[in-house]
Amino acid sequence: MDKRILKTKQRISEAFLKLIKEKPYSKITISEIAKIAEIERKTFYLHYNCIEDVYIDIESQIISELEAEVNKYIDKPNYQIRNIYYNLNSVINNNIDFFKAVAINDSYSFLLHSFEKGLSKIIYKIASEICHVKSKNMVYYTDFYASGIVKLYADWLKGENDLSLDELTIILTRASFLSVDELINNK
């Protein structure tokens, strides 16, 4: 992709992320994004059809980043679930302002839900390809795990508990190990 296009899309994303921290999603306008990004409205429309497309682009980048980390472990026999959480922590830390804004502002709960769906797909891939779990109910388990994981991270991002990120990772790892062991034993 042309570097100018990438740079413009990056500026649009940064403007959107800045506005997410300041106001509810429904109050963000394309004009505001364009002004902060220092572009014309028509330039915005060259890259995106609407504000939701900006979010979808950001979400896709974050999920792709996480999937890339997961794929590093798919073929490795020494795979450990805690590595996924360390990588997830890295993705969160790289996008901390975005995740905090989404977790804190209730008008962004739909964003958390879409991340939950992306995380569920990743968990499904791990369970089926690494742990070789073949259950007709797998999608329900992965949705359940993903919703719990997102809830714990959201609470941590909101500052609703006094856990460090490392302590949260240990809790998530232990819960995952117990859950995966149960699934493997009851294929």
CATH of 54-185, one of 3.30.230, 1.10.287, 1.10.357, 1.10.3470: 1.10.357
| pLDDT single digits (tens) 110-132 | 777 777 887 888 778 777 776 77
What does CATH list as the number for 1-49? 1.10.10.60
Helix (H/G/I), strand (E/B), else coil: 38: coil
Q: How confident is the model at residue 79 (pLDDT cuts 50, 70, 90)?
A: low
Per-residue pLDDT, 116: 83
pLDDT number for residue 101: 79
Q: Which of 154, 157, 150, 148 is nearest to 175 (CA)?
A: 148
User: Could you give the CA distance from residue 114 to residue 125 in angstroms, rounded to a whole number?
Assistant: 17
Domain locations along the chain? 1-49, 54-185
